Structure 1
């Protein structure tokens, strides 16, 4: 039944009717954007258990009037600042993306044609739709007809004819024809918004780094309170320390146990990657997606927008007997010069025959119902182009053979025919004869082959998932150089979810895939232990994008796809993917290497904290000394090392790799402290001398470990190592009072030198032992 509008179609809504609908909330409004508010961003980066724990420790230090030992809070503030700035920057970039490509809509109100913002559309508004325009809200065609591309909604790229009474879905585009349509749904009631709701569930980010760090922090969090209480009681009651010294010692042990620098380094490295990727026109909406993209081993692509440009090209023409190529091109020019069609096929034909002339007195635009278009030129007759089976009942044998070959190759075949007679209304003229075949195909992106080759070399399996004909998609993928592209399946033949999942790993190309089937495919591939990335641009991709480990959307696509995706390609060019993957690998490999520097301190501090619960000696270190060691031997070098180029493939598990590298250094530092405590009585060291000797040995071990990390040396790594050595040495010699150190007397150095030699031997032996032990476990 055709809907009746509450107005004359020449007048549209009146101002009072618009105001009434606005009062009732029947207004399109701003579409929801998946970004936090500034307040939410601020609170999320400040009010974390990690930060609150450090604030409590800093308060304890300030209460006992030792403010310099609260310097570790600088790292906490830096971490919160970097996280906040990065999220705000990402929010601003995301918010700049238009939710709908057409920012204004053409409406008829009070009898006048107006252009208004999409957000101001109200229910029952009368809109004028033209070729190239996007449908901004679900509507119903009131009069005339048009052809609509619904690929962003359904995945099907073929235009759909819409006549009076037919419904138009928001997010689709008018390909040809003009019509008047009445808005049926606004805001959250739109079809696209309803689809998006299905992807609004919370999905925990997939990240080995985040999981590893959080797992380690959870372990430390369970230990830190009992260790802190026991250590304080031991220091205050068992060693005779003052309250101030007991608090400072306990906080030093607890601060050392917290890997605050590791969290900061992770934020810095990923934030730098976000900035670098922004320069490559890639917007990162979720930090840890960089890691997941670097780990991806299966990449699911849509055909349009990734392999192809979304446009057509005329490959060649095949003249029928009695016609030449030049004659055929001239007739195509006559036809396309007169037709108003703006669809991809028409644009490809105009590009193929640029010498266009317009002399027609009858013009019949293309219709997906007729499958043909045509013109009548006085004195020349009629020209028709369209699908051969709809234009002529039977083709000559030679053209039939060419048509079969072209179809098998995935090309689109059009027939050009002519007649001396005119059209009878919208009917084909009689006595049509074939002029020749026009063979078209989707235009490949120039970078498609190079991009696919890159992923093939990297061992990433490509799956092409499309709503189009599987044979066509297969041939396009083959032209682009996709390995095993001829291994395709028509998803419409897969009866249920079980059949789709069984086909997931068996086939390379999937055609006629529904949105739900895309979701099933991603789930099936993930269930086999693969890390899956998904690219998409339409509402039909939303559920699969949300389910994937790393989702990538094109900025030119639907707002729903952009909203749920972790990475948005701002230039909608898939060619930037190799550089994005390379950036991810650089970040994660370097972070993995540098993270071991931080965990050396954390593991060592935890072990020493437990040991000093049972030892009668005073805890030998202060928080400010941990700040010196962390800054000179861990924080500064790890930051610069993490920014180096590194395109190696990621292997192994983050947590295991880091622990393996950190254990030798941590255990060596435990030995260092025990050696210092063991010889303290023999040398009659004071508490300050014990503390200074412990700092020297721990710093020396840290620099040795840094040396091992920097091998093989480059000029940049040499500079980093020398700078770290200089920073530590200068601090010990010239800023000793600030770091609670004593002068380096001969009395102190005659113990430090042999202990340093022993420390180097212990570190080398433990590195060899741990490496062999880990190999045995594997």
Structure 2
């Protein structure tokens, strides 16, 4: 990928032409191309090695039954006819047939339909879907390329590819250059060969000089290298980056949406108390039975720790918990049906007395209802005649690092939205304990009637309780439509739709397979405090690539404009490739690389392409004017072509150093040393080896002209800079 690129092909072709006419020293520009390519390959290989290592750590394991025993194996070890256990949160990796149990499956990543589909014995479940609730034993029907998801598309199980704004901008530049470089090169060569006393070698060398000036060699590779370095750095904090450019999107977010459970809290809950509504209820026996048969999750785990009686009631039916239902239950033969769930979803005709009790405890605890019916489940619906037996009080454990991390995002002017499936009063309690000042701006999403009302609420409120997966997605969509860049942090199956929709999806390593499979960033240790490091790395990446790209585009713009001008004048193109290699190394190559790996935590502002062009255009136009002015002075004063070329090379280098000074300010030790090094390096080439670079020795007359032209260049640079900002202010829509 780094070797067989359009620009490398063009550079190799141009180098071949130069070699064919015998100008060996002018092939020096290929040295820069080769170095850039090698650096890019080495860094991306390092990044890939680290990503593969982290992926191995967080890789999903398949739970299979072999030889009558359960064992966990890598997904690529699963074969046809293997018996696989799938439970809530698992992503289905092979097309399979259910042998035992039942479950609800979300097939949205394949079909686009978000409603869970009930599956029972004999039904087929497809790869790319994920288990919302329930537990099943399945037999693998097909693997690898024979899977349904693989047949439809190789990307069916993963998040849609979210494009990088930086890469999009660079691709626009590449397309523009690719469109003009070949026809412009042919016409310029024909013009140069037609000049009086101009031989084939000079025409080829001059044309190649113009074209390599137009090519921003190394820019794409530098960008990939910077992204790769970010991946390597973030690996130190146990952060796995699924796509190289993912860190860019988190650095750009305006709003960060957080699912409370597992992000602000650690996903574990503590049983606090049972409040009896029915004085005759034996909660220890009932809750022990329910904890034994319901799917393992934070709630049932808390109940198992507290209630562990050996209850041998015969099970008739089980309805596992799902985030859309907000309840789960078990029907026991000759005993009755018991349901645990949220008050709003279990008690349809809400009893005001019970509601007051629920609200009383919800401000400090997570409250679940325990209810009983003498009837069985109505399909997948609640049984009739439910009677409330009591309230289960649970408390979430807040992540210690969450407070500091949320304060960081507030300082960075990133808006926060807390989205949860829990009671809004419980969410408020968590938010208060975290010290956030958004506790007066909340809504119970279960009271919102339709999508339109949900869209209005998304823009109005900051805390959402009782949200279902579809509503979470609506919130993210609405914020994006309002022009915001949205990040979403989640860990559960109920977060998948929102994660898939978000501009940057961040999953916790302890989260479900489904949430990790659709996320670009995975916090392997589930450490929320790693988030600021991701933002810092993203800012460093964007800001530094922006600065480096400015240096590259100055050369591209002025070389393109200059080539067009020389189509209409009867003068030889003033540069040779080796001269541009000298200026490029010291004004672009070395500075761009050093600046690209520097720390930079400035907030990302503006459009990438607009920012780059606004900095590059004044310097590029100044170079064009300086070159044409030197051509005129050369004709008036009778200077040789070598003398005018020497003046042009020095003026271009000076403008490069001036731009480098501007984008490096304020200076630190590294930037000061960089400025001194590149200036001395360039002067050593001009003064120490003029013949190597086809330059002439500087006389007093040339020094005087240089000083005058430098003064003119400074004036022109300021003029074009002011002109650019005036035009931008007058016509802002063209610079968005």
Deviations along 1:330-350, one digit per CA (max 9) or x if unpaired, are x99x989x9899753465478
Alignment counterpart, residue 736 of structure 1, candidates 686, 690, 694: 690
CA contact (8 A) 1:205 1:288 kept: no
1:665 equivalent in alignment to 2:616: no
Q: Which residue of 2 aligns with 1:551?
A: 505
Alignment counterpart, residue 199 of structure 2, candidates 242, 246, 268: 242
CA contact (8 A) 2:546 2:612 kept: yes
Quote the Cα distance in structure 2 between the aligned partners of 1:169 and 1:441: 37
Quote the Cα distance in structure 1 between the aligned partners of 2:193 and 2:80: 74
Shift of 1:281: 2.0
Are residues 288 and 456 of structure 1, via their aligned partners in 2, closer, same or farther at CA, if it must alter by over 3 Å? same
**Stretch of structure 1 that moved more, 655-664 or 112-121:** 112-121
1:490 equivalent in alignment to 2:445: yes
Deviations along 1:556-578, one digit per CA (max 9) or x if unpaired, are 44445444433232323332122
Deviations along 1:722-766, one digit per CA (max 9) or x if unpaired, are 111111111222233332222223343243233333333333443
Alignment counterpart, residue 704 of structure 1, candidates 645, 658, 669: 658
Quote the Cα distance in structure 2 between the aligned partners of 1:201 and 1:385: 35
Alignment counterpart, residue 407 of structure 1, candidates 359, 362, 375: 362
1:527 equivalent in alignment to 2:484: no
Shift of 1:446: 1.8
Quote the Cα distance in structure 1 between the aligned partners of 2:549 and 2:698: 31
Structure 1 length as normaliser, TM-score? 0.73
SS at match of 2:2: helix
Shift of 1:718: 1.4
SS at match of 1:737: coil
SS at match of 1:287: coil
Q: Which residue of 2 aligns with 1:37?
A: none
Deviations along 1:221-267, one digit per CA (max 9) or x if unpaired, are 33323332232222211242111111110111111122224334323
SS at match of 1:614: coil
CA contact (8 A) 1:491 1:500 kept: no
Q: Which residue of 2 aligns with 1:443?
A: 397
Are residues 715 and 107 of structure 1, via their aligned partners in 2, closer, same or farther at CA, if it must alter by over 3 Å? same
Quote the Cα distance in structure 2 between the aligned partners of 1:483 and 1:191: 45
SS at match of 1:696: helix
Shift of 1:774: 3.6
Quote the Cα distance in structure 2 between the aligned partners of 1:413 and 1:564: 30
Are residues 452 and 239 of structure 1, via their aligned partners in 2, closer, same or farther at CA, if it must alter by over 3 Å? farther
Q: Which residue of 1 aligns with 2:537?
A: 583
Q: Which residue of 1 aligns with 2:582?
A: 628
Shift of 1:275: 1.9
Q: Which residue of 2 aligns with 1:181?
A: 137
1:107 equivalent in alignment to 2:66: yes
1:207 equivalent in alignment to 2:161: no
1:689 equivalent in alignment to 2:648: no
Alignment counterpart, residue 226 of structure 1, candidates 183, 204, 210: 183
Q: Which residue of 1 aligns with 2:258?
A: 301
Alignment counterpart, residue 723 of structure 1, candidates 677, 682, 701: 677
Are residues 293 and 180 of structure 1, via their aligned partners in 2, closer, same or farther at CA, if it must alter by over 3 Å? closer
Q: Which residue of 2 aligns with 1:290?
A: 247
CA contact (8 A) 2:499 2:505 kept: yes
List alignment gaps of at least 5 residues for structure 2.
110-117, 320-327, 333-337, 344-351, 371-388
1:52 equivalent in alignment to 2:9: yes
**Stretch of structure 1 that moved more, 302-311 or 540-549:** 540-549
Deviations along 1:100-127, one digit per CA (max 9) or x if unpaired, are 6334523346xx7777665555566556
**Stretch of structure 1 that moved more, 578-587 or 256-265:** 256-265
Are residues 556 and 525 of structure 1, via their aligned partners in 2, closer, same or farther at CA, if it must alter by over 3 Å? same
Shift of 1:609: 1.4
Quote the Cα distance in structure 2 between the aligned partners of 1:474 and 1:193: 43
Q: Which residue of 2 aligns with 1:758?
A: 712
Shift of 1:626: 0.9
Q: Which residue of 1 aligns with 2:374?
A: none
1:589-608 mapped onto 2 (5 Å cutoff): 589-608=543-562
Quote the Cα distance in structure 2 between the aligned partners of 1:385 and 1:578: 41
Q: Which residue of 2 aligns with 1:430?
A: none
Shift of 1:57: 1.6
Q: Which residue of 2 aligns with 1:454?
A: 408
1:330-479 mapped onto 2 (5 Å cutoff): 344-345=298-299, 347-348=301-302, 404-412=359-367, 439-468=393-422, 472-473=426-427, 475-479=429-433
Shift of 1:593: 2.7
Quote the Cα distance in structure 2 between the aligned partners of 1:285 and 1:447: 24
Deviations along 1:627-680, one digit per CA (max 9) or x if unpaired, are 111111222123222333322222222222222222222222222212321222
1:631-670 mapped onto 2 (5 Å cutoff): 631-670=585-624
Quote the Cα distance in structure 2 between the aligned partners of 1:388 and 1:673: 75
Quote the Cα distance in structure 2 between the aligned partners of 1:545 and 1:388: 24
Quote the Cα distance in structure 1 between the aligned partners of 2:491 and 2:153: 13
Deviations along 1:191-212, one digit per CA (max 9) or x if unpaired, are 9999998856995643332333
CA contact (8 A) 2:420 2:464 kept: yes
CA contact (8 A) 1:102 1:134 kept: no
Q: Which residue of 1 aligns with 2:114?
A: none
Quote the Cα distance in structure 1 between the aligned partners of 2:187 and 2:534: 49
Shift of 1:94: 4.9
Shift of 1:293: 1.9
Quote the Cα distance in structure 1 between the aligned partners of 2:269 and 2:500: 30
Quote the Cα distance in structure 1 between the aligned partners of 2:634 and 2:136: 92
Are residues 493 and 198 of structure 1, via their aligned partners in 2, closer, same or farther at CA, if it must alter by over 3 Å? farther
Alignment counterpart, residue 258 of structure 1, candidates 211, 215, 221: 215
Shift of 1:585: 1.4
1:25-36 mapped onto 2 (5 Å cutoff): none
List alignment gaps of at least 5 residues for structure 1.
1-43, 155-160, 323-330, 375-383, 390-396, 416-433
Q: Which residue of 1 aligns with 2:18?
A: 61
Quote the Cα distance in structure 2 between the aligned partners of 1:756 and 1:535: 53
Quote the Cα distance in structure 2 between the aligned partners of 1:136 and 1:657: 44
**Stretch of structure 1 that moved more, 566-575 or 551-560:** 551-560
Q: Which residue of 2 aligns with 1:574?
A: 528
Are residues 502 and 134 of structure 1, via their aligned partners in 2, closer, same or farther at CA, if it must alter by over 3 Å? closer
Quote the Cα distance in structure 1 between the aligned partners of 2:250 and 2:39: 22
Are residues 468 and 402 of structure 1, via their aligned partners in 2, closer, same or farther at CA, if it must alter by over 3 Å? closer
CA contact (8 A) 1:318 1:437 kept: yes
CA contact (8 A) 1:629 1:695 kept: yes
CA contact (8 A) 1:206 1:292 kept: no
Quote the Cα distance in structure 1 between the aligned partners of 2:230 and 2:704: 47
What value does the CA root-mean-square deviation take over the aligned residues? 5.0
Are residues 541 and 739 of structure 1, via their aligned partners in 2, closer, same or farther at CA, if it must alter by over 3 Å? farther
